[in-house]
Structure 1
Amino acid sequence: MTPFHLAFPVSDLEETRAFYADVLGCAIGRSSDTWVDFDLFGHQMSAHLRPGAGKAARDGKVGGIVVPIPHFGVVLEMAEWTALAERLEARSDVEWIEKPQVRFKGEPGEQATLFICDPSGNALEFKGFRSMDKVFAH
């Protein structure tokens, strides 16, 4: 798999740096006064300073849960997802949108999922699959 790149707006670079490095465990890449790159599970995420950047709307629904639009995240092997979910649940400073759960249980697209917000209000989803062969199952 090749890495994906995403540039996204943030309202405060220092808060963003702390969240992605300390909470999510991302390595920090290149940066300037107006942007910073992170390694999010092997993908290049570029946070760009945009004061007043808006929060994701929390009015979508998929499989009976709130799905903020827009959102971004990573699909992980189940063991890695479980470790991330446990690490996040142990913290008191995580803004949860949806706590860890399994969606589409018993269906071809069964997946573990969780949604959190970064300090700028960007919504992130992390999915876990027992087999990566099931990511696009229908």
Structure 2
Amino acid sequence: MRDTNKVFHLAIPCKELDETVSFYEKLGCKLARRYDDRVTFDFFGDQVVCHLSPDHIDEKPQMYPRHYGITFLDKEDYDQALEYAIKEELPFFSKPMIRFKGKQEEHMTFFLIDPANNLLEFKYYHDKSMVY
């Protein structure tokens, strides 16, 4: 299990800071810092830094192999995130679905796409032993 004294850090490109802040705040992330060239968020307890890098945006994003997100341990948290994304009219890259139906690794998932075409996955495994 993860120690509470560790925070995962992820740096990703963004094309414009204001729209990036708007998207991540609507997602429920807290803006921690803002500079002329980047913004830092509390992303569900971890740190996501969006670096202003309009020349490095993936124009044709695909789910695999590059995306990031949250794996919820409680179904209620997954359901709440999905309801929040719908309520805030956040852009879905892939609507909610069930992957690996009927198998031990079956999980519920949906993908959002941020303003710089970064893909975010949110998922919940029915069998918690499949999280890792």
**TM-score normalised by length of structure 1:** 0.82
SS in 2 for 1:106: coil
- For residues 95 and 114 of structure 1, the distance between their equivalents in structure 2, rounded to whole angstroms, comes to 11
In 1, Cα distance between the equivalents of 2:126 and 2:61? 28
What do residues 77-134 of structure 1 show as CA deviations (whole Å, max 9, x unaligned)? 2211111111212343x22211112111221111111111001111111111235322
2:68 aligned residue (66, 69, 72): 72
Q: Which residue of 2 aligns with 1:90?
A: 87
- The CA RMSD measured in Å over matched residues stands at 1.7
> Conserved in 2, the CA contact under 8 Å of 1:56 and 1:69?
no
Select the structure that is richer in strand: 1
Unaligned 5+ runs, structure 1: 60-66
Q: Secondary structure at the match of 1:133?
A: helix
Q: What CA distance in whole angstroms lies between the structure 1 residues aligned with 2:80 and 2:59? A: 26
Does residue 1:38 correspond to 2:41, yes or no? yes
Change (3 A) 1:68 1:116: farther
The answer as to whether partners of 2:8 and 2:47 remain within 8 angstroms in 1 is yes
Cα distance change on mapping 1:58 and 1:49 into 2, 3 Å: closer
How many pairs align? 127
Structure 2 residues not aligned, in runs of 5+: none
Percent of pairs with identical residues: 35
Q: CA deviation at 1:72?
A: 1.0
CA-CA distance at 1:42 after TM superposition:
0.5
Q: C-alpha deviations, 1:17-67, integer Å up to 9, x for none? A: 010012x110111221111111111110000000233226445xxxxxxx2
